[in-house]
């Protein structure tokens, strides 16, 4: 009896001691050590825990309800205010999010991290997601051709960034292609066929994903598959149609024709997508004396721009090769080389400068000047992260150039999901962006640093990056207004073409935007069969509730594949789409904050209505005309290739769960070259 009584006493004493040690309540809400938790604090803790769990399940409206209940019990708790702001942010209600974050910040919570988050979100709401196109660039990092006496590459002459954040470098002196990641590490080398490359001068990724390499000394083009394996040669030495002498730079138009600047023949050669010669141009044409030293080339819709290093200018032709004009006067440049089209302008490399040239007016703006040291900038190409990758042939370096304000502003890091169902093994998803909502792609495990209460986690492992995914979940919204009904056949063909372009991958949803939107189909894209508008349950209407349809489509994509998008099929200017329940900023923010792209297929050639124009310009995605020459299959391809900065990592936690009731903190830091970002959050382990 004495032993039993002693055991009972020790058990009761241990439980009492456990509660006496608690300095926060079960949800992590601050409670002084010298008092017992009140009833309100207990209720707040339970509502808070439910809110966190709902948030990580993507049920943001439910999370908001739970957090507001918790806040009703503890009106001034900063942790609840912070989480309520997070939930409103993910729900697209950024104004409400800022209000709660400001309250917490004014209470002394969150420090510089929360202040920075407030500043970035407020700036996005005021200026939108776009940045000034004409802004000086500064070096964010450099990848030298030699490291500690070891040769990595020599003579970088051209760069081809990939949508997953990697980049191909054509090394002229070492006759190879080098694949680098965002940290400058070599992950692949390609030396071409058995006889190797012969002075590779440019590299281009074709529309079908294959690589094309110009061989300046070999007088030919080498076609490689998407991994760099040699397939065949195109062209050969000579002056006849389809023959080359010293080919330099490459471009491709929307019909997949290949354009090559043929320096030795002083012309531009054109091949079809299969590598068969079509024609060449650039000779004397009326008042035009002909090309003297064709180097860089870029194709923009129906226009072809060619740099001439002998005349120091840029010439504009049409796609048939007819001379149009001099975009800039002779001797504007010292020795222009590669051209690239970006943000409505041409990027031109000229000796020690990288410039922007307006494709309409010829106005110049200097992006980068590398200084007076021996240098020869040969190519500059924008990458998926909004940087410009520059090759310096003479200095034997590859530079990563970023806009100055991006270097100062750092990275915007958000921990999006935490799965602790197999605690202590924890899996997280986090998103990395710049200040202007552009995703940061291509990070590796070495770029992440996770801590719990500022102590490094153990067994950190990167599981994957969404940018590497090759499929997407897509929701098609069909405008059921009377103005779109006359395009029934076009709508049906669009749906079928999009479904076919998904190649049986991902999930296809169809939402009909009627007076009351409804989901008409969910399933594999190849099971949609012979789609017909007559089979839709939603009837035509005089006014289609587009805002409700967008919200419904977005809700269904919250927990879909990491690459996901909405495609609206609608008539252009005269559509009768209503936006009465949700304002445009909320709709755009909801899609942006949950990585949902938005594209429009226009059934007529008129301009979009003001509402659709606003949403389209504020979100990732594009606008397509249904009768575009290249068809609609590229709509899916371009959606899949949109940058996606979501990463999944796992680690082993060392924290104590208190039977699943403790709020477990987590901090994440991300480093890339000389930029960094940080986020702090928490989660609950399963109840026991």
Give the predicted TM-score (pTM) of the model.
0.88
Least-confidence region, from 280-284, 352-356, 445-449, 630-634: 630-634
Q: Does the pLDDT at position 5 exceed 50?
A: no
User: Which pLDDT value is given to residue 358?
Assistant: 95
- Write the pLDDT tens digit of every residue in 213-224: 999 999 999 999
- The strand pair at 412-422 and 186-190 is best described as unpaired
Residues facing 449 on adjacent strands: 669
Beta strands in 254-396 (DSSP E): 258-262, 267-271, 277-281, 294-300, 303-308, 313-318, 323-328, 336-342, 345-350, 353-358, 364-369, 377-382, 388-392
Contacts of 650 (CB under 8 A, 6+ apart): 425, 426, 427, 428, 459, 460, 461, 463
Q: Does the pLDDT at position 669 exceed 50?
A: yes
Residues facing 328 on adjacent strands: 314
- Give buried/exposed letters for 150-188 (b at 16+ CB in 10 A, else e): eebbebbbbbbbbbbbbbbbbbbebbbbbbbbbbbeeee
- Write the pLDDT tens digit of every residue in 316-338: 999 999 999 999 999 999 999 99
User: Which pLDDT value is given to residue 28?
Assistant: 47
* Secondary structure (H, E, C), 436-489: CCCECCCCCHHHEEEEECCEECEEEEEEEEHHHCCCCEEEEEEECEHHHHCCHH
> For residue 216, what are its two tokens?
């300046």
Q: Residues 439, 432: contact at Cβ < 8 Å?
A: yes
Task: Please compute the mean of the pLDDT values over residues 529-550 and round it to a whole number.
Answer: 92
Q: Residue 378's closest CA among 360, 396, 402?
A: 396
Categorize the per-residue pLDDT at 133 as very low, low, confident or very high, splitting at 50, 70 and 90.
low
DSSP tally for the chain: helices H, then strands E = 13, 44
**Residue 552: Cβ-neighbour burial (10 angstroms; 0-12, 13-18, 19+):** buried
- Write the pLDDT tens digit of every residue in 489-532: 999 999 999 999 999 999 999 999 999 999 999 999 999 888 99
- Write the pLDDT tens digit of every residue in 229-258: 999 999 999 999 999 999 999 999 999 999
- Write the pLDDT tens digit of every residue in 136-184: 888 889 999 998 888 999 999 999 999 899 999 999 999 999 999 999 9
Query: What's the rounded Cα separation, in Å, for the pair 52 and 415?
Result: 13
DSSP secondary structure code for residue 12 in this structure: H
Categorize the per-residue pLDDT at 35 as very low, low, confident or very high, splitting at 50, 70 and 90.
very low
Q: Residue 268's closest CA among 323, 218, 231, 310?
A: 323
* Secondary structure (H, E, C), 508-541: EEEEEECCCCEEEEEECHHHCCCCCHHHCCCCCE
- Give buried/exposed letters for 563-600 (b at 16+ CB in 10 A, else e): bbbbbbbbbbeebbbbbeebebbbbbbbbbbbbbbbbb
Can you give the C-alpha Rg of the chain in angstroms?
29
- Write the pLDDT tens digit of every residue in 187-223: 999 999 999 999 999 999 999 999 999 999 999 999 9
Q: CA dist 133 to 125, 136, 153, 163, 365, Å?
A: 18, 9, 32, 21, 10
Q: Which helix (H) or strand (E) holds 590?
A: helix 584-592
- Write the pLDDT tens digit of every residue in 94-112: 999 999 999 999 999 999 9
Q: What angle do CA 407, 413, 416 make, to 5 degrees?
A: 160
User: Which pLDDT value is given to residue 412?
Assistant: 94
Task: Please compute the mean of the pLDDT values over residues 306-313 and round it to a whole number.
Answer: 97
**Which residue matches tokens 């990070």?**
443
Q: Residues 272, 292: contact at Cβ < 8 Å?
A: no
User: Which pLDDT value is given to residue 4?
Assistant: 41
């Amino acid at each position: 009896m004495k032993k039993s009584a002693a055991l009972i006493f020790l058990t009761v004493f241990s439980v009492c001691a456990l509660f006496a040690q608690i300095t926060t309540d079960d949800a992590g809400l601050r409670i002084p050590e010298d008092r017992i938790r009140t009833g309100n604090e207990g209720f707040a803790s339970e509502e808070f825990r439910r809110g966190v769990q709902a948030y990580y399940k993507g049920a943001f409206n439910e999370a908001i309800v739970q957090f507001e209940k918790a806040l009703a019990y503890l009106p001034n708790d900063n942790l609840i205010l912070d989480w309520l702001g997070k939930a409103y942010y993910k729900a697209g209600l950024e104004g409400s999010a800022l209000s709660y974050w400001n309250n917490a910040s004014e209470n002394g919570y969150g420090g510089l991290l929360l202040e920075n988050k407030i500043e970035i979100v407020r700036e996005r709401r005021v200026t939108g997601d776009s940045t000034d196109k004409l802004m000086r660039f500064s070096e964010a990092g450099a990848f030298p051709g030699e490291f500690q006496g070891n040769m990595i590459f020599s003579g970088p002459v051209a760069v081809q960034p990939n949508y997953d954040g990697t980049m191909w470098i054509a090394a002229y002196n070492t006759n190879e292609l080098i694949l680098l990641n965002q940290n400058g590490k070599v992950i692949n080398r390609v030396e071409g066929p058995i006889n190797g490359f012969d002075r590779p001068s440019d590299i281009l990724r074709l529309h079908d994903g294959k690589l094309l390499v110009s061989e300046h000394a070999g007088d030919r083009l080498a076609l490689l598959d998407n991994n760099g394996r040699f397939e065949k040669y195109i062209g050969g030495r000579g002056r006849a149609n389809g023959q080359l002498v010293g080919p330099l730079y490459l471009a491709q138009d929307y019909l997949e024709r290949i354009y090559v600047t043929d320096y030795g023949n002083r012309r531009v050669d054109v091949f079809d997508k299969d590598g068969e010669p079509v024609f060449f141009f650039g000779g004397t044409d009326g008042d035009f004396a002909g090309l003297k030293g064709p180097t860089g080339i870029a194709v923009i819709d129906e226009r072809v721009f060619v740099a001439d290093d002998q005349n120091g200018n840029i010439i504009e032709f049409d796609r048939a090769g007819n001379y149009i004009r001099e975009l800039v006067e002779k001797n504007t440049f010292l020795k222009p080389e590669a051209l690239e089209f970006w943000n409505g302008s041409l990027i031109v490399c000229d000796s020690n400068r990288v410039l922007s040239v307006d494709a309409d007016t010829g106005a110049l703006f200097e992006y980068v000047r590398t200084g007076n040291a021996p240098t020869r900038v040969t190519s500059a190409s924008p990458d998926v992260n909004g940087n410009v990758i520059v090759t310096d042939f003479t200095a034997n370096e590859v530079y990563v150039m970023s806009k100055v304000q991006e270097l100062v502003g750092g990275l915007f890091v958000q921990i999006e999901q935490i799965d602790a169902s197999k605690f202590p093994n924890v899996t997280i998803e986090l998103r990395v962006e710049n200040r202007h909502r552009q995703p940061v792609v291509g990070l590796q495990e070495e770029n992440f640093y996770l801590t719990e209460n500022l102590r490094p986690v153990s067994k950190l492992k990167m599981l994957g990056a969404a940018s590497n995914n090759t499929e997407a979940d897509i929701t098609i919204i069909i405008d059921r207004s009377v103005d779109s009904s006359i395009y029934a056949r076009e709508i049906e063909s669009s749906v079928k073409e999009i479904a076919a372009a998904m190649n049986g991958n991902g999930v296809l949803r169809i939402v009909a935007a009627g007076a009351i939107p409804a989901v008409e189909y969910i399933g594999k894209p190849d099971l949609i069969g012979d789609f017909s508008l007559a089979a839709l349950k939603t009837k035509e209407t005089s006014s289609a509730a587009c805002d409700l349809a967008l919200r419904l489509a977005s809700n269904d994509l919250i927990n879909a594949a990491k690459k996901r998008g909405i495609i609206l099929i609608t008539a252009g200017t005269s559509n009768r789409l209503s936006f009465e329940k949700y304002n445009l900023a909320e709709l755009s923010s909801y899609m942006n904050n949950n990585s949902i792209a938005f594209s429009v297929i226009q059934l007529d050639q008129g301009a979009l209505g003001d509402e659709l124009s606003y949403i389209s310009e504020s979100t990732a995605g594009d606008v397509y005309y249904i009768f575009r020459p290249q068809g609609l299959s590229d709509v899916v391809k371009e959606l899949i290739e949109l940058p996606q900065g979501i990463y999944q990592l796992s680690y082993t936690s060392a924290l104590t769960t208190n039977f699943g009731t403790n709020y477990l903190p987590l901090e994440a830091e991300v480093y890339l070259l000389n930029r960094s970002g940080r986020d702090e959050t928490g989660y609950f382990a399963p109840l026991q």
